[in-house]
Amino acid sequence: MTQKKNRFWTFLFSFMPGAGEMYMGFMKMGVSLMGMFFLIITIATILEIGPIIFLAVIAWFYSFFHVHNLAGMPDEEFYSLEDEYLFNLSAIKMPGADMAEGYRKTVAVILIVVGLFMTLRGLFRVLGVYLPDYFYWLVRGVGYRLPQIVVGIGIILLGVYMIRGKKRQLYSAQDEEKQAVFEEKPKDMDKEEM
């Protein structure tokens, strides 16, 4: 049950993303904030992509001020607030089964690649004793940096995909405008002839 709590404890819990929301009874909000915060840190640590940590800092500040905004709400507004996850994935509507199938394939490929990386790392740790030193260090270095390279290429491809999608959207909007102008001209010409 959501209720306003002791301001001192609210302040202390606000330093851990999601804990302040959970303390006030907003479990879904708290879990989603805490999960997002630790997921960002985990991804940045595993893939050694330091700049991603800035997203964790943003999530921390968001959570800190979110708790204090909740605590400072008028009672009527506070008690009418519903506990919802921050990211409602069920609200995202995918237009068509083809898109859902495409996402399923993408997730499957990502899972296979991650599984291969984990398997290769484990094998080389076990078999590293039996391999020549130069070969072991070469394979270990490539295996260590390969996830970063794959993620970097994935980010580039995602950016290219997003730009191409926006261009297609802009071109289709321009085509619709041209078509609308083309359809309006004959009507105007008929009026002038009368």
d(CA 1, CA 120): 48
Q: Is residue 128 part of a domain?
A: yes
Reference 53, options 39, 41, 63; nearest CA is 41
- Give 24-49 as a DSSP string: TT-HHHHHHHHHHHHHHHHHHHHHT-
The answer to whether residues 74 and 117 belong to one domain is: no
Give a yes or no: residue 105 inside a domain.
yes
Instruction: Give per-residue pLDDT as tens, 20-73.
Output: 999 988 899 999 999 999 988 988 887 777 778 888 999 999 999 999 888 888
pLDDT tens for residues 107-121?
Answer: 788 778 778 877 877
| The model's pTM | 0.55
Both 135 and 50 in one domain: the answer is no
